[in-house]
Amino acid sequence: MDGRDNSDGAELVTIYWEMRASDGALMTCARYRTADGEDVRLGDRDRPVLRLQWLSDGDSGEEMAEHWRRQLIAGGSLEPPSE
């Protein structure tokens, strides 16, 4: 099992990225569709929803996913991608 949470009946729309956390956990950032709208979620197997941001109409979620990725790399929580 990974960080893709659908315990609320959410439908996975797209995965923006998956990266290793500094503790070795596989972090997943993905977009979901629910009865209430669409959101971007960040989590791992043990903590499927560490962050969640609801999307407004027309938002792709890519900017939020990239912002979280950069923030977590800068803070040392994610391993930087190898070049």
Encoding tokens for residue 78? 């994610």
User: Is the predicted pLDDT of residue 70 greater than 50, yes or no?
Assistant: yes
**Quick one: pLDDT band at residue 83, thresholds 50, 70, 90?**
low
Kindly list the domain boundaries of the chain, sorted by start residue: 11-74
What pLDDT, on a 0 to 100 scale, did the predictor assign at position 45?
Answer: 85
In 3D space, the residue among 10, 52, 2 whose CA is nearest the CA of residue 27 turns out to be 2
What letter represents residue 5's amino acid? D
CB atoms closer than 10 angstroms to residue 9: 9
User: Is the predicted pLDDT of residue 4 greater than 80, yes or no?
Assistant: no
Give the least confident one: 7-11, 23-27, 41-45: 7-11
User: Is the predicted pLDDT of residue 80 greater than 60, yes or no?
Assistant: yes
CB atoms closer than 10 angstroms to residue 32: 23
Q: Which residue has the tokens 């669409």?
A: 38
- State the DSSP H helix or E strand holding residue 64, giving kind and residue range, or none if neither: helix 62-74
